[in-house]
Amino acid sequence: MDDPSAPTGLIRILVADDHPMLRDGIVGLIDRQADMQVVGEAADGVQALEAFAALRPDLTLMDIQMPGMDGVAAIERIRGLDPRAAVIVLTTYPGDTLALRALRAGASGYLLKNCIRKELLETIRNVHAGRRVLAPEIAQEIALHALEEPLTDRERVILLQVAEGRANKEIARRMSVSPDTIKACLKTIYLKLDVGDRTQAVVAAVRRGYIGL
Protein backbone atom coordinates (compact mmCIF):
# COMPACT_ATOMS: atom_id res chain seq x y z
CA MET A 1 0.00 0.00 0.00
CA ASP A 2 1.20 3.52 -0.71
CA ASP A 3 2.00 5.69 2.26
CA PRO A 4 -0.16 8.84 1.88
CA SER A 5 2.37 10.79 3.94
CA ALA A 6 5.26 9.90 1.59
CA PRO A 7 6.74 12.71 -0.55
CA THR A 8 5.31 13.00 -4.05
CA GLY A 9 7.32 13.21 -7.27
CA LEU A 10 9.80 10.51 -6.26
CA ILE A 11 10.73 7.51 -8.40
CA ARG A 12 9.31 4.67 -6.31
CA ILE A 13 11.57 1.61 -6.60
CA LEU A 14 11.29 -2.09 -5.72
CA VAL A 15 14.63 -3.90 -5.25
CA ALA A 16 14.70 -7.67 -5.90
CA ASP A 17 17.96 -9.57 -5.29
CA ASP A 18 18.72 -12.74 -3.35
CA HIS A 19 21.99 -11.39 -1.90
CA PRO A 20 21.16 -9.33 1.23
CA MET A 21 24.44 -7.41 1.27
CA LEU A 22 24.10 -6.33 -2.35
CA ARG A 23 20.45 -5.44 -1.79
CA ASP A 24 21.40 -3.33 1.24
CA GLY A 25 24.05 -1.55 -0.81
CA ILE A 26 21.58 -0.73 -3.57
CA VAL A 27 18.97 0.47 -1.09
CA GLY A 28 21.53 2.69 0.64
CA LEU A 29 22.65 4.19 -2.66
CA ILE A 30 19.10 4.93 -3.78
CA ASP A 31 17.94 6.33 -0.46
CA ARG A 32 20.61 9.03 -0.64
CA GLN A 33 19.00 10.42 -3.81
CA ALA A 34 16.56 13.31 -3.54
CA ASP A 35 14.41 12.04 -6.42
CA MET A 36 14.17 8.33 -5.48
CA GLN A 37 12.61 6.17 -2.80
CA VAL A 38 12.87 2.42 -2.13
CA VAL A 39 9.33 1.24 -1.37
CA GLY A 40 9.99 -2.49 -1.09
CA GLU A 41 12.51 -5.34 -1.19
CA ALA A 42 12.34 -8.96 -2.36
CA ALA A 43 14.72 -11.92 -2.09
CA ASP A 44 13.37 -13.99 -5.01
CA GLY A 45 11.06 -13.84 -7.99
CA VAL A 46 7.95 -14.89 -6.09
CA GLN A 47 8.46 -12.17 -3.48
CA ALA A 48 9.16 -9.66 -6.26
CA LEU A 49 5.87 -10.47 -7.97
CA GLU A 50 3.95 -10.24 -4.70
CA ALA A 51 5.65 -6.94 -3.76
CA PHE A 52 4.98 -5.47 -7.20
CA ALA A 53 1.30 -6.39 -6.99
CA ALA A 54 1.00 -4.79 -3.55
CA LEU A 55 3.16 -1.70 -4.06
CA ARG A 56 2.92 -0.90 -7.78
CA PRO A 57 6.35 0.78 -7.89
CA ASP A 58 7.41 3.07 -10.72
CA LEU A 59 10.41 0.87 -11.40
CA THR A 60 11.71 -2.55 -10.35
CA LEU A 61 15.38 -3.55 -10.08
CA MET A 62 15.50 -7.30 -10.79
CA ASP A 63 18.33 -9.77 -10.26
CA ILE A 64 18.15 -12.19 -13.17
CA GLN A 65 19.32 -15.32 -11.31
CA MET A 66 17.35 -16.02 -8.14
CA PRO A 67 16.01 -19.19 -6.47
CA GLY A 68 12.49 -20.36 -7.19
CA MET A 69 11.09 -18.05 -9.85
CA ASP A 70 13.99 -16.48 -11.74
CA GLY A 71 14.16 -12.89 -12.91
CA VAL A 72 12.97 -13.54 -16.47
CA ALA A 73 9.85 -15.37 -15.27
CA ALA A 74 9.19 -12.62 -12.72
CA ILE A 75 9.47 -9.94 -15.43
CA GLU A 76 6.95 -11.80 -17.58
CA ARG A 77 4.52 -12.07 -14.67
CA ILE A 78 4.98 -8.43 -13.66
CA ARG A 79 4.42 -7.25 -17.22
CA GLY A 80 1.31 -9.41 -17.25
CA LEU A 81 0.01 -7.41 -14.29
CA ASP A 82 1.04 -4.09 -15.83
CA PRO A 83 2.26 -3.93 -19.47
CA ARG A 84 3.77 -0.51 -18.72
CA ALA A 85 5.90 -1.76 -15.81
CA ALA A 86 9.54 -0.63 -15.99
CA VAL A 87 12.11 -3.25 -15.01
CA ILE A 88 15.90 -2.95 -14.95
CA VAL A 89 17.79 -6.24 -14.87
CA LEU A 90 20.89 -6.55 -12.69
CA THR A 91 23.24 -9.42 -13.54
CA THR A 92 26.76 -10.71 -13.05
CA TYR A 93 27.01 -12.21 -16.54
CA PRO A 94 27.13 -10.29 -19.85
CA GLY A 95 25.64 -13.26 -21.71
CA ASP A 96 23.77 -12.42 -24.90
CA THR A 97 21.12 -15.15 -24.68
CA LEU A 98 20.12 -14.26 -21.13
CA ALA A 99 19.92 -10.58 -22.05
CA LEU A 100 17.74 -11.31 -25.06
CA ARG A 101 15.40 -13.45 -22.94
CA ALA A 102 15.03 -10.63 -20.43
CA LEU A 103 14.48 -7.98 -23.11
CA ARG A 104 11.88 -10.14 -24.83
CA ALA A 105 10.15 -10.60 -21.48
CA GLY A 106 9.83 -6.83 -21.24
CA ALA A 107 12.90 -5.49 -19.43
CA SER A 108 13.62 -1.81 -20.11
CA GLY A 109 17.22 -1.86 -18.90
CA TYR A 110 20.05 -4.36 -18.49
CA LEU A 111 23.00 -3.54 -16.25
CA LEU A 112 26.02 -5.47 -15.00
CA LYS A 113 26.38 -5.59 -11.23
CA ASN A 114 30.01 -4.46 -11.38
CA CYS A 115 28.76 -1.17 -12.89
CA ILE A 116 26.06 -0.49 -10.30
CA ARG A 117 27.91 2.18 -8.33
CA LYS A 118 28.77 4.20 -11.46
CA GLU A 119 25.76 3.63 -13.70
CA LEU A 120 22.72 2.55 -11.68
CA LEU A 121 21.32 5.97 -10.79
CA GLU A 122 21.60 7.34 -14.33
CA THR A 123 20.06 4.13 -15.68
CA ILE A 124 17.12 4.43 -13.29
CA ARG A 125 16.47 8.02 -14.36
CA ASN A 126 16.74 7.19 -18.06
CA VAL A 127 14.41 4.19 -17.86
CA HIS A 128 11.92 6.15 -15.75
CA ALA A 129 11.95 8.79 -18.50
CA GLY A 130 10.94 6.15 -21.02
CA ARG A 131 14.29 5.24 -22.54
CA ARG A 132 15.75 1.74 -22.89
CA VAL A 133 19.26 1.26 -21.48
CA LEU A 134 21.58 -1.62 -22.35
CA ALA A 135 25.08 -1.95 -20.92
CA PRO A 136 27.68 -1.55 -23.72
CA GLU A 137 29.29 -4.90 -22.90
CA ILE A 138 25.96 -6.67 -23.33
CA ALA A 139 25.08 -4.82 -26.53
CA GLN A 140 28.46 -5.92 -27.90
CA GLU A 141 27.81 -9.56 -26.96
CA ILE A 142 24.40 -9.48 -28.65
CA ALA A 143 25.90 -8.00 -31.82
CA LEU A 144 28.80 -10.48 -31.77
CA HIS A 145 26.52 -13.54 -31.71
CA ALA A 146 23.55 -12.14 -33.65
CA LEU A 147 24.12 -14.24 -36.76
CA GLU A 148 25.01 -17.47 -34.97
CA GLU A 149 22.64 -20.40 -34.70
CA PRO A 150 21.36 -20.60 -31.09
CA LEU A 151 21.31 -23.74 -28.99
CA THR A 152 18.04 -25.64 -29.06
CA ASP A 153 16.10 -26.49 -25.90
CA ARG A 154 17.27 -30.10 -26.24
CA GLU A 155 20.90 -29.03 -26.52
CA ARG A 156 20.53 -26.85 -23.42
CA VAL A 157 19.11 -29.82 -21.49
CA ILE A 158 22.07 -31.95 -22.54
CA LEU A 159 24.57 -29.25 -21.56
CA LEU A 160 22.94 -28.79 -18.19
CA GLN A 161 23.37 -32.51 -17.50
CA VAL A 162 26.98 -32.33 -18.66
CA ALA A 163 27.47 -29.47 -16.19
CA GLU A 164 26.04 -31.70 -13.47
CA GLY A 165 28.78 -34.25 -14.19
CA ARG A 166 26.74 -36.92 -15.97
CA ALA A 167 28.40 -39.18 -18.54
CA ASN A 168 27.03 -39.58 -22.06
CA LYS A 169 25.52 -43.00 -21.28
CA GLU A 170 23.61 -41.64 -18.29
CA ILE A 171 22.37 -38.63 -20.24
CA ALA A 172 21.26 -40.95 -23.05
CA ARG A 173 19.38 -43.18 -20.62
CA ARG A 174 17.65 -40.22 -18.97
CA MET A 175 16.61 -38.80 -22.35
CA SER A 176 15.67 -42.20 -23.86
CA VAL A 177 18.11 -41.92 -26.76
CA SER A 178 21.32 -43.70 -27.74
CA PRO A 179 24.77 -42.62 -26.51
CA ASP A 180 25.70 -41.98 -30.15
CA THR A 181 22.88 -39.44 -30.35
CA ILE A 182 24.28 -37.60 -27.33
CA LYS A 183 27.76 -37.64 -28.88
CA ALA A 184 26.39 -36.18 -32.11
CA CYS A 185 24.48 -33.50 -30.21
CA LEU A 186 27.61 -32.55 -28.28
CA LYS A 187 29.56 -32.16 -31.52
CA THR A 188 26.88 -29.77 -32.77
CA ILE A 189 27.00 -27.87 -29.48
CA TYR A 190 30.78 -27.54 -29.74
CA LEU A 191 30.44 -26.08 -33.24
CA LYS A 192 27.76 -23.60 -32.19
CA LEU A 193 29.74 -22.42 -29.16
CA ASP A 194 33.12 -22.58 -30.95
CA VAL A 195 34.67 -24.80 -28.26
CA GLY A 196 36.58 -28.08 -28.25
CA ASP A 197 35.37 -30.08 -25.27
CA ARG A 198 32.72 -30.57 -22.58
CA THR A 199 34.30 -28.26 -20.02
CA GLN A 200 34.71 -25.41 -22.48
CA ALA A 201 31.12 -25.92 -23.64
CA VAL A 202 29.76 -25.59 -20.10
CA VAL A 203 31.86 -22.48 -19.41
CA ALA A 204 30.72 -20.84 -22.65
CA ALA A 205 27.07 -21.78 -22.06
CA VAL A 206 27.11 -20.30 -18.55
CA ARG A 207 28.85 -17.12 -19.72
CA ARG A 208 26.35 -16.57 -22.51
CA GLY A 209 23.36 -17.37 -20.33
CA TYR A 210 22.21 -20.61 -21.94
CA ILE A 211 22.40 -22.43 -18.62
CA GLY A 212 22.75 -21.41 -14.98
CA LEU A 213 24.68 -23.19 -12.26
Residue 169 belongs to a domain: yes
Residue 159 and residue 139 in one domain: no
Upper half-sphere CA count for residue 186 (Cβ side, 13 Å): 24
What is the model's pLDDT at position 96?
Answer: 86
Give the per-residue pLDDT at 43.
94
Is residue 18 domain-shared with residue 105, that is, in the same domain? yes
Q: Structural domain tally of the chain?
A: 2
Which domain CATH number covers 18? 3.40.50.2300
139: in domain:
yes
Which strand (E) or helix (H) includes residue 62?
Answer: strand 59-63
Give the pLDDT of residue 144. Answer: 81
Asked if 126 and 61 sit in the same domain, the reply is: yes
- The pTM of the full predicted model, rounded to 2 decimals, is 0.76
Alpha helices in the chain (DSSP H): 20-31, 45-55, 71-81, 96-105, 116-128, 136-144, 153-163, 168-175, 179-193, 198-208
Torsion of CA 74, 30, 7, 63, to 10 degrees: 0
pLDDT of residue 6: 46
Residue 8 has a pLDDT of 57
Q: Are residues 94 and 189 in the same domain?
A: no
Residue 174 lies in a domain: yes
Whether residues 202 and 111 share a domain: the answer is no
CATH number for 196: 1.10.10.10
Full DSSP string of 95-153: -HHHHHHHHHHT-SEEEEGGGHHHHHHHHHHHHHTT--EE-HHHHHHHHHTTTSPPPPH
Does residue 3 sit within a domain? no
Local confidence pLDDT in tens for the 213 residues of the chain: 344 444 458 999 999 999 999 999 999 999 999 999 999 999 999 999 999 999 999 999 999 888 888 889 999 999 999 999 999 999 887 788 888 889 999 999 999 998 888 899 999 999 999 999 998 888 888 888 877 888 999 999 999 999 999 999 999 999 999 999 999 999 999 999 999 999 999 999 988 888 876
Same domain assignment for residues 46 and 127: yes
The answer to whether residues 124 and 28 belong to one domain is: yes
Q: Which domain holds residue 174?
A: 153-208
Of the candidates 106, 126, 144, which is a domain's last residue? 144
